[in-house]
Chain A
Amino acid sequence: MRYVDEFRDPKLIRALADEIARLADPGYHYRIMEVCGGHTHAIYRHGIKSLLPENIDLIHGPGCPVCVLPMGRVDDGLSLTQYPDVIFTAFGDMMRVPGTHGSPLEYKARGADVRVVYSPLDALKLAQENPDRHVVFFAIGFETTAPSTALTIMRAKALGIRNFSVFCNHVLIVPAIRAILDSPDMRLDAFIGPGHVSTVIGCRPYLFIARNYRKPIVISGFEPVDLLQSMVMILRQLAEGRAEVENQYSRVVPWDGNQAALRAMADVFELRPYFEWRGLGFISQSALKISEACAEWDAERRFEIPGVRVTDPKAAQCGEVLKGVLKPHQCKLFGRECTPEHPIGALMVSSEGACAAYYDYIHRAAAVAD
């Protein structure tokens, strides 16, 4: 595959791994957080961990949109399936995420009209094809997917399609990083910055991390060469006592972001005063809702939403894992009550979730050790 295989070049990867081993101070225990779930997934998929020295720990951050969604929001969204005319649509990522009474996939198996879409525009198309039904798109994601939701609502408005609405759960990455930095038990040395999100928001929003918190952050791509090069850049910053925002993923991420996408978001969304994050609690100004001007396409306004709040099981320590205080396997439920097949916390659901990604690696560490 062009543009992919170049970034999986074994020679280059080995050279970078050697450089990391040279740069890392053997007397120091590094804790580096990859913010984005896509990075978590890539790190496991490509076996990146096995290329790093033992004293570099990768902490999996909050950048998995499915993982940070509280179960109450899933229940609220799924409550819409009780209306017989509703077609409930969501990304594949969402389909196995458990609500109190099952996941969207389980609702579908019980007869609810639940469909996987690849883009919110597909959901809108479904609404056009089914004029006697109402299509709800369950929107999730950070700034990566929010612009496509915004554009879809703009198109629905322009075309006057009224049997379509969005149940909006879009969240923002910067408040989540800030919450982690402000957490009293936080102990991180640096961040691997999100790649996809940054294609939209650019690099400027991260400047406070370097300036106010004195932590290096390197925006990274998703291939092995990207991730290892970002590690090299981070270790250089740490070795030289620098704390800067650097952009390893400049082939995709512009420093100032994507202005058209940001405008679309500004046109359609407004900030929620606060939003609940799974594991992190309520964070102010951390999520988007649909603005008054687009109220007609807001499922939360068009339907009566129960507004469920579900507390995570007491024994589940999703929050500590999300903040990097605990490793996934240190949670009491990990691998026992909570497995990828029977997830209790959402971190175990998505293949981007820290726990699901960790499950195989650590669960069978004894077997893999030699």
Chain B
Amino acid sequence: MATTVTLSFRDPRIELAHGAGGKATRRLIEGLFLPLLANPVLLELADAALLHVGESRLALTTDAFVVKPLRFPGGSIAELAVFGTVNDLAVAGARPLALSAAFILEAGIGSDLLQAEVEAMARAAAEAGVTVVTGDTKVVEHGSADGIYIATTGLGLVDPRVSLGAGQVRPGDQILVSGPVGDHGVTILLARGDLDLEADLESDTRPITPLVQAVIEAAAPGLRWMRDPTRGGVASALNELARDCGHGIVLFEEAIPIREAVRGACEILGLDPLHVASEGQFLAVVAPDYAEAALAALHATPGGEGAALIGEVRPEPARTVLALTAYGGSRVVDMLVGDPLPRIC
């Protein structure tokens, strides 16, 4: 067919930043993938695609996991691969039905390492209440991959009571987070061992389905939008929301739950905790009348004790995330550019 598609992606090479979840990733997706693969479902750019099948709405999502080190305090790549995909379904308002898993293995890795990861995957799937129903295995030459890569796809059934999307978000809506942010990103950074820093910290990787379920039960009619702040952290997730809904997002900086160890490590490394990934938390935008009920429901659910109301949607500044400090200062919270790197000098 002789249709011409205009591609706005002009970067000559793929750099690491294109995979970091920030602006470069967005440019790649919107400038290359979207125009070439364009269809109404993809254009929604949601964590999970919504498919209408008969009376039901199915959610379909896929995610590839490349993490170094493969095992880290509080989790491992296979757990991430299960929980990450289950969580993408959860923030679409869906309960997971089934997962697929594709393994790309580097020739030469120990079979015990692989076994440990498959065992971890089985445990994680059981915890998340889902089964891995199909899969694939490929082995590449030694040096062509970094140990184990895993891609998982998840299929879920969307709760009929919810209708989510940036388009539903209105000024006055409240922004909730399910618990302290940044644990995973800082844990991984420290576990790489390059920094000679130690902290009593574990990845927060876990299925968020029970917490999301609690919010749906308590506040379904007022629930507008959810997102798990993985790559790029809270800052990138909310910047995407601000852009997509056209309103301003105002955060109350002091209200954002961040563990002391995460704050301390970020302070030392010159990172903004709002740019650091979480793997077991989610953000929810809730209509003002339902915010209290949603927060109470989170607090009453095991693992949701640290939930907090951290901000609200305002008409201005449009398409911008602003953080207000306790003393009346304000700053623009931008999306992450590339991977977070420690600053020294």
The answer for the CA separation of A116 and B17 in the assembled complex, in Å, is 15
Q: Are B344 and A51 in contact (CB under 8 A)?
A: no
Q: Which one, B15, B248, B344, contacts A92 given CB within 8 A?
A: B344
5 smallest CB-CB distances across A and B, nearest first, come from A47-B329, A92-B341, A367-B317, A141-B345, A13-B327
The answer for the CA separation of A250 and B173 in the assembled complex, in Å, is 46
Q: Is A1 an interface residue (CB 8 A)?
A: yes
Q: Which one, A93, A141, A341, A364, contacts B317 given CB within 8 A?
A: A364
A21 to chain B, nearest CB (A): 12
The answer for the CA separation of A359 and B260 in the assembled complex, in Å, is 30
The answer for the CA separation of A299 and B15 in the assembled complex, in Å, is 28
12 A/B residue pairs, CB under 8 Å, sorted by A: A8-B327, A45-B272, A46-B331, A47-B325, A93-B341, A95-B341, A105-B15, A108-B16, A116-B341, A118-B197, A144-B345, A360-B332
Inter-chain residue pair count (beta carbon < 8 A): 127
Interface-central residue, A44, A66, A368, by most chain B CB under 10 Å: A368
**Interface 1/0s, chain A 11-37, versus B by CB < 8 A?**
001100100000000000000000000
Q: Is B196 an interface residue (CB 8 A)?
A: yes
Q: Given A105-B16, A105-B17, A341-B23, are A368 and B317 neighbors across the interface (CB < 8 Å)?
A: yes
Q: Are B194 and A117 in contact (CB under 8 A)?
A: yes
Q: Which one, B24, B263, B334, B342, contacts A116 given CB within 8 A?
A: B342
Q: Which one, A47, A91, A340, contacts B344 given CB within 8 A?
A: A91
Q: Are B327 and A224 in contact (CB under 8 A)?
A: yes
Q: Which one, B15, B263, B316, B325, contacts A1 given CB within 8 A?
A: B263
B244 to chain A, nearest CB (A): 16
The answer for the CA separation of A365 and B251 in the assembled complex, in Å, is 18
The answer for the CA separation of A340 and B336 in the assembled complex, in Å, is 10
The answer for the CA separation of A51 and B317 in the assembled complex, in Å, is 18
Q: Is A96 an interface residue (CB 8 A)?
A: yes
Q: Is B267 an interface residue (CB 8 A)?
A: yes
Q: Please, which residue of chain B has its CB at the minimum distance from the CB of A142?
A: B345
**Interface 1/0s, chain B 15-43, versus A by CB < 8 A?**
11100000110010000000000000000
Q: Please, which residue of chain B has its CB at the minimum distance from the CB of A45?
A: B331
Q: Is A115 an interface residue (CB 8 A)?
A: yes
Interface-central residue, A66, A106, A224, A341, by most chain B CB under 10 Å: A341
Q: Is B138 an interface residue (CB 8 A)?
A: no
Q: Which one, A48, A91, A341, A367, contacts B318 given CB within 8 A?
A: A367
The answer for the CA separation of A95 and B341 in the assembled complex, in Å, is 8
**Interface 1/0s, chain A 50-79, versus B by CB < 8 A?**
110000000000000110000000000000
The answer for the CA separation of A307 and B71 in the assembled complex, in Å, is 44
Q: Please, which residue of chain A has its CB at the minimum distance from the CB of B18?
A: A109
Q: Are B316 and A109 in contact (CB under 8 A)?
A: no
The answer for the CA separation of A370 and B17 in the assembled complex, in Å, is 33
Q: Is A140 an interface residue (CB 8 A)?
A: yes
Q: Are A93 and B13 in contact (CB under 8 A)?
A: no
Q: Are A91 and B16 in contact (CB under 8 A)?
A: no
- Majority SS at the chain B contact face: loop
Q: Is B1 an interface residue (CB 8 A)?
A: no
- Enumerate chain A residues within 8 angstroms of B329, measured Cβ to Cβ: 13, 46-48, 50-51, 224
**Interface 1/0s, chain A 205-225, versus B by CB < 8 A?**
000000000000000000010
Q: Is B160 an interface residue (CB 8 A)?
A: no
**Interface 1/0s, chain B 305-345, versus A by CB < 8 A?**
00000000000111110110111111110100110011111
Q: Is B14 an interface residue (CB 8 A)?
A: yes
Q: Is A4 an interface residue (CB 8 A)?
A: yes
Given contacts A1-B267, A116-B194, 5 further A-B contacts (CB under 8 A): A47-B325, A47-B329, A95-B341, A360-B331, A370-B317
Q: Are B345 and A93 in contact (CB under 8 A)?
A: yes
A residues 344-359 in Cβ contact with B at 8 Å: 350-352, 359
Q: Is B195 an interface residue (CB 8 A)?
A: yes
Q: Given A48-B329, A51-B329, A109-B15, are A340 and B337 neighbors across the interface (CB < 8 Å)?
A: yes
Q: Are B13 and A360 in contact (CB under 8 A)?
A: no
The answer for the CA separation of A272 and B267 in the assembled complex, in Å, is 34
The answer for the CA separation of A150 and B263 in the assembled complex, in Å, is 30
- Enumerate chain B residues within 8 angstroms of A66, measured Cβ to Cβ: 345
B residues 233-289 in Cβ contact with A at 8 Å: 248, 260, 263-264, 267, 269-270, 272
- Enumerate chain A residues within 8 angstroms of B195, measured Cβ to Cβ: 118
Q: Given A109-B16, A360-B334, A368-B332, are A91 and B345 neighbors across the interface (CB < 8 Å)?
A: yes
- Enumerate chain B residues within 8 angstroms of A13, measured Cβ to Cβ: 327, 329
Q: Are B330 and A1 in contact (CB under 8 A)?
A: no
- Enumerate chain A residues within 8 angstroms of B316, measured Cβ to Cβ: 367, 370
Q: Which one, B323, B328, B331, B344, contacts A118 given CB within 8 A?
A: B344
**Interface 1/0s, chain A 75-117, versus B by CB < 8 A?**
0000000000000000111011000000001101110000111
